[in-house]
Amino acid sequence: RPQTAFPELRREKTQSRLPPPPAASTMSEPATDVPPKEGGATADVTKTDKSDYYFFKSTPKELQKQYAPVPLKPGQQLDFTPRAQTLHESTLVKKDEERKKAEAAQKKFENGGGTNLSYSQIRKNAYDFRDKEHEVALEEPDKYDIGQKVVIHGLKKAAKFNDQVAEVLSEIKDGRYPVKIVESKKQLNVKRENLKMYRPVVCKEFVNIKLERGFRCTPELLFKALTDQDMVSKYTQSEAKIEVNEGGGFSLFGGSIHGSFQEASPPSKIVQLWRFKEWPDDHFSTVTLEISSPEYGVTVAKLNQVEVPVHDKFRNRDVPDKVKKGWKEFFFDRIHKVVGFAKVEKSEYSRKKKAKDDEEDED
């Protein structure tokens, strides 16, 4: 609705944000102990009975509502503090409290006690935290070399490129470096002050993950379900690119997971260098998948993933749980439900295998 509509409602809304005026019953006759103003004129003021607040008798009530009276002593010049100034001071206090809270959270974060920072705050400060991972602080160079990796920061109009790792394409021109984003391959011309040297996160804690799952199929079919590009795209419902050969690369979930094949021996073994893009930079774990058939119609996949980092480059310490959950829910369970290879419990094929081994021992 136009602002001219319902002026009485707009006035009430404005007044609701202002401090309440003194009660009318507290107003009394003009004070007699107030000295005259300079020039001989008597101050036309009114003094309350229960406080030292003074008002001009000529001050309208509407104006009194917009000002907070300040206590005065007899003889002092009347003064009123604007409501806008009061709001400004309260805003400064609020901002100071937020700043102290953010500093305390960041200090707790740096000391390894977890974090209460939001994802955007962590991403904003991630590359600053990286500097403290190095025993020797590296100074910013006067100029960047061609091919050197840098980090973009401080962009306002193109803020989505902040904290992205880029590669310098050529020497500086007109105060800007031509760079290419590593992940998206997009090229930009960035000012020198919006670049800083790339320092990878160093992770010193690693864990190993072991999983085992039985499928009602043949080893050849399971090997295909794990390596065929079209099948993986369908049951993960995402983009997948897979080159099944030694040294061939793969990319899953639109690049969220990527790596390369170190060994592909159908239908019994797969060895991969494997990583999430949120992991510490340039760190790959090693995944070994051994496929066997303990009995006809049953295939068992044994997964062993070593050197999984405990935290990612944003210091989130849920990486092992995330990896384990991803293998179970997005690969094994979906092969059961989408591809149709029924799940075989470990107790079932283990019991049969044990009975078979006992028969061989008796013979």
Q: Taking residues 100-126, report their average pLDDT.
A: 60
pLDDT at 208: 95
What pLDDT does 270 receive? 97
- State mean pLDDT over 291-308: 94
Closest CA to 177 of 150, 140, 156, 155: 150
Residue 151 pLDDT greater than 50, yes or no: yes
pLDDT of residue 360: 63
- Structure token pair of residue 217: 């199929």
Q: Which residue has the higher pLDDT, 184 or 75?
A: 184
Confidence at residue 43, expressed as pLDDT on a 0 to 100 scale: 42
pTM, two decimal places: 0.54
| Structure confidence at residue 37 (pLDDT) | 44
Q: How far apart, in Å, are the Cα atoms of 214 and each of 120, 236, 341?
A: 41, 19, 9
Alpha helices in 228-302 (DSSP H): 229-236
Predicted local confidence at residue 156, as pLDDT = 87
Span 9-52, pLDDT tens digits: 554 444 445 555 555 444 444 444 444 444 444 444 444 444 44
Mean pLDDT of the chain: 75
Which of 146-150, 197-201, 332-336 is the most confident on average?
332-336
Mean pLDDT, rounded, for 135-139: 56
pLDDT reported for residue 115? 47
Q: What is the pLDDT of residues 244-281, one digit of tens each?
A: 999 999 999 988 999 999 999 999 999 999 999 889 87
Whole-angstrom Cα distance, residue 86 to residue 244? 69
Q: What is the pLDDT of residues 198-248, one digit of tens each?
A: 877 778 889 999 999 999 999 999 999 999 999 999 999 999 999 999 999
Give yes or no for a contact between 238 and 254, defined as CB atoms under 8 angstroms apart: yes
Q: How confident is the model at residue 352 (pLDDT cuts 50, 70, 90)?
A: low
**Neighbouring C-alpha atoms within 13 Å toward the C-beta of 280:** 20
HEC per residue, 106-152: HHHHHCCCCCCCCHHHHHHHHHHHHHHHCCCCCCCCCCCCCCCEEEE
Please report the pLDDT score of residue 61 as a whole number. 53
